[in-house]
Amino acid sequence: MSSAELIINEHAGNAREKDALPALIKTVATVFSPVHENHTQAAGDARTIAAQLVGQYADRLDELTIIVIGGDGTLHDVVNGLQQTGHPEVAIGYIPTGTGDDFARANHIPLKSQEAANALVHAVAKPIRIGQITSREYGQQWFINNFGIGIDALVVYATNHSGSKNLLNALKLGSLSYPLHFATALAKQKPFTSTWTNARGAHHSDRSYLCVFTNHPFLGGGIRLIMPEADDRTNLHLVIVERERWQVLAKVLLGILRHQPNDPAIHHYVSPQFEFSTEANEHIQVDGEELSTPLHATLTQTTQLFLLP
């Protein structure tokens, strides 16, 4: 039986799973032994801990397995810690306890924490494609879910800074946080100018409204951006919605919220690499982490090893 390093964010999802942690850790200990606990205290700690673990296991990295108990933000940090140190071959197991848990949803990891812990018994190490961003403003970063500019990022900002997120998490309704703030963002979001290039050439829009680069179909706690038949995990996806008359725009965004993103006004590009730039003053979200424009970036994919059912 191999050992495991737990990286635990007990505050994920407004700490709604805090009382369940002893049982989750006990379950992990039936699969791995010994188990060492590493608890985060602040944003970014998981990234630091992951990098430190790589250093501690430097001469025996094949023995390092990391199990994350937290939300997608915690998982994002761990992945960035491993990628920054150049060790994507370190396997990560995931027990989701956050608000959206889109990575788990996209990769068939049970959304109930105890079931996810139980699933580690039969989990298999698989390389999963994740997004990679290189920009002059922020250097190099990686994302497990999506990278959004425009109304998506504005919704994330509103959600993160609203007391309703904590209330919904306490009621175990955290997945409603994103759609709850969509109407407010709809009224506030203004069109902006953006340029992007893929294998088929250059594109420009003065009416960009929603720009999301994604590795899989989901964002915002299960909202579907890509129809199942277009779910190509070997490439990066870009979903663009431009500003239209409010009747058209409302119809498009309502379709997305209803998990039916098949309106002609939704533009979907698939490519191994994109160049993207905007000088506009817009919110950015990277797996729920807040950034801001301007932005000049190259987006592509790389791999990270995960333990999956």
Confidence of residue 181 (pLDDT cuts 50, 70, 90): low
Give 111's Cβ-side CA count (13 Å radius). Answer: 15
What CA–CA distance (Å, rounded) separates 283 from 287? 13
Give 185's Cβ-side CA count (13 Å radius). Answer: 23
Residue 285: strand pairing partners: 148, 290
The string of pLDDT tens digits covering residues 118-144 is 999 999 999 999 999 999 999 999 999
What are the b/e assignments for 263-276, b being 16+ CB within 10 Å? eeebeebbbeebeb
Structure-model confidence comparison of residues 198 and 186, the more confident one: 198
* pLDDT over 70 (residue 231): yes
Task: Calculate the average pLDDT of the chain.
Answer: 89
Structure-model confidence comparison of residues 151 and 95, the more confident one: 95
Lowest average pLDDT, out of 44-48, 254-258, 286-290, goes to 254-258
**Across 245-273, average pLDDT:** 77
The string of pLDDT tens digits covering residues 263-273 is 777 889 999 99
Q: Which two tokens stand for residue 187?
A: 């009224």
- 3-state SS class at 158: helix
* pLDDT over 60 (residue 53): yes
pLDDT on residue 162: 62
* Cα dihedral: 234, 12, 64, 147 (round 10): 30
What CA–CA distance (Å, rounded) separates 35 from 88? 21
* pLDDT over 50 (residue 290): yes
pLDDT on residue 13: 81
pLDDT on residue 235: 97
* pLDDT over 60 (residue 167): no
pLDDT on residue 173: 46
Structural domains of the chain, with CATH: 4-122 (3.40.50.10330), 139-303 (2.60.200.40)
pLDDT on residue 5: 98
* pLDDT over 60 (residue 176): no
Residue 194: strand pairing partners: 205
- Please name which of 127, 261, 276, 304 lies closest in space to residue 213, comparing C-alpha atoms: 276
- Whether the CB-CB separation of 156 and 285 falls below 8 Å is answered with yes
* pLDDT over 70 (residue 152): yes
**Across 199-214, average pLDDT:** 92
pLDDT on residue 199: 87
pLDDT on residue 171: 43
- 3-state SS class at 307: strand
* pLDDT over 80 (residue 244): no
* pLDDT over 70 (residue 54): yes
pLDDT on residue 201: 92
Confidence of residue 16 (pLDDT cuts 50, 70, 90): confident
Give 279's Cβ-side CA count (13 Å radius). Answer: 2
CA distances from 130 to 27, 34, 77, 239 (A): 28, 29, 13, 16
User: If 0-12 CB within 10 Å is exposed, 13-18 middle and 19+ buried, where does residue 296 land?
Assistant: middle
Pairing assessment for the beta strands 192-198 and 236-242 based on DSSP bridges? unpaired
Structure-model confidence comparison of residues 242 and 47, the more confident one: 47
* Largest distance between two CA atoms of the chain: 61
